[in-house]
């Protein structure tokens, strides 16, 4: 009877929760997408022979990874307008902060992926007259991409869960929708269990998709 009542109550709130879920997925996909672009350049900068570029990239990574995501969100949403003199919409602030955060973690994933490739391949490519850019584009990166898929999938899952922090700036993703419902209905346990199940379904699905891509691309091949 208790389970039936819970199911009936949650099912009635599901359209609201799914609306928040769609925004959660959207934010995560955009953040990891931009994070991948940022991370690729920063990751390559981390192994650059230029000490200035290498140092700038290292400072960026250390700062982002060494400070809470919640603080970064508040800096972008509340602190940045103080500098530029205009307000930043909550969704834009969420995308900026999540993308910058993701970029730092992806940078280390990309760096590790590039450095995992046998240096002999770089030397062989250079001996054939290929430039550094050509070697990276045609030899190193295609192989590195295969190896970074598993950790990149983990980053997507982590960002999916971390996106719940943007609820503090009143952006109505899944967690914020859940808060609005249980604040009104005074049934926090019911809604939080439902939200947890939705998060679990999403993360489990992504995990299975990553495993499928691993098998198809042969990421474990040496």
DSSP helix, strand, coil percent of the chain (3-state; round to 5):
85, 0, 15
Domains for the chain: give ranges and CATH numbers: 2-217 (1.10.3720.10)
Instruction: Quick: pLDDT tens for 121-132.
Output: 777 877 877 877
Q: CA 19 → CA 173, 178, 198, distances in Å?
A: 8, 11, 12
> Which is higher by pLDDT, 147 or 173?
173
Instruction: Quick: pLDDT tens for 166-190.
Output: 999 989 999 999 999 999 988 899 9
Q: Are 60 and 42 in contact (CB under 8 A)?
A: yes
Q: Is the dihedral of CA 90, 96, 100, 103 positive or negative?
A: positive
Whether the per-residue pLDDT at 2 is higher than 50: the answer is yes
Confidence of residue 1 (pLDDT cuts 50, 70, 90): low
**111 contact partners, CB below 8 Å, separation of at least 6:** 43, 44, 46, 47
Q: What is the largest CA-CA distance in the chain?
A: 74
Lowest mean pLDDT among 1-10, 38-47, 88-97: 1-10
The whole-number average pLDDT for the span 69-89 is 95
Whole-model pTM?
Answer: 0.89
Helix/strand/coil for 130:
coil
CA distance 50 to 195: 47
Instruction: Quick: pLDDT tens for 95-116.
Output: 999 999 999 999 999 999 888 8
CA distance 219 to 146: 5
Average of per-residue pLDDT values in the chain: 90
What's the pLDDT score for residue 222?
Answer: 47
The whole-number average pLDDT for the span 199-221 is 83
């Amino acid at each position: 009877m208790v389970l039936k009542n819970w199911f009936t109550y949650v099912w009635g709130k599901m359209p609201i929760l799914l609306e928040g879920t769609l925004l959660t997925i959207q934010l995560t996909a955009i953040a990891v997408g931009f994070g991948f672009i940022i991370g690729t350049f920063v990751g390559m900068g981390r192994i650059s022979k230029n000490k200035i570029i290498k140092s700038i990239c290292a400072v960026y990574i250390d700062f982002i990874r060494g400070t809470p995501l919640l603080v970064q969100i508040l800096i972008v949403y509340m602190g940045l307008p103080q500098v530029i003199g205009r307000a930043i919409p909550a969704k834009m602030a969420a995308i900026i902060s999540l993308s910058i955060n993701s970029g730092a973690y992806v940078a280390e994933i990309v760096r590790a992926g590039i450095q995992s490739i046998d240096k002999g391949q770089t030397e062989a490519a250079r001996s054939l007259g290929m430039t550094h850019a050509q070697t990276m584009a045609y030899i190193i990166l295609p192989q590195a991409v295969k190896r970074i898929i598993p950790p990149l999938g983990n980053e997507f899952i982590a960002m999916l869960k971390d996106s719940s922090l943007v609820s503090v700036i009143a952006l109505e993703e899944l967690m914020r929708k859940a808060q609005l419902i249980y604040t009104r209905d005074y049934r926090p346990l019911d809604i939080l269990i439902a939200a947890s199940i939705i998060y679990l379904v999403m993360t489990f699905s992504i995990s299975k998709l990553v495993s499928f891509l691993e098998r198809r691309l042969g990421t474990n091949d040496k």
